[in-house]
Amino acid sequence: MTIRLPPQQFGPRRQRPALSSEARRPNGSLRPGFTLIELLVVLAIIGTLLAIALPRYSKSIGRAEEAVLQQNLRATREAIDQFHGDLGRYPVNLQELVMRRYLRELPVDPLTRSNRTWLAQPAVGGGIRDIRSGAPGSGSDGRPYVSW
């Protein structure tokens, strides 16, 4: 003859928490969350992705700034040439291009973030015949910015 006792006499049956993201509270309900290992794996993945993406992002920013610099130099040089073609002389300063509406405004050098760092190249008869960037350093092609 076998005697079976009701399970209440032995106390509540305790289960071990699973090794996944589910853990039980003392009252038996499930507690949602992540384990430390899962969080560390996610952080490692994010760190790896950032280590790959940041150098590419900074290179693309540098190339974009150089492209803007080339475009600003080209537009300002065209305005100087048009000024010379119309008036037969070169502008005394770069602001004269703006005052006579050859440019809406003096472009900003994207590397120095200023429109006051342009280096004016004087003309033989006076005035400005060309401009260069006043930014230190060299471009991605190895040429110094002041020679662009």
The pLDDT tens digits for 9-62 are 555 555 555 555 555 666 666 667 888 999 999 999 999 999 999 999 989 999
What does the block give as tokens for 56? 């590419």
Q: pTM for the full model?
A: 0.68
Cα separation of 8 and 12, whole Å?
Answer: 7
> What are the φ/ψ torsions at residue 115 (nearest 5 degrees)?
-100, 10
Q: Which residues, at least 6 apart from 144, have a Cβ–Cβ distance to it below 8 Å?
A: 137, 138
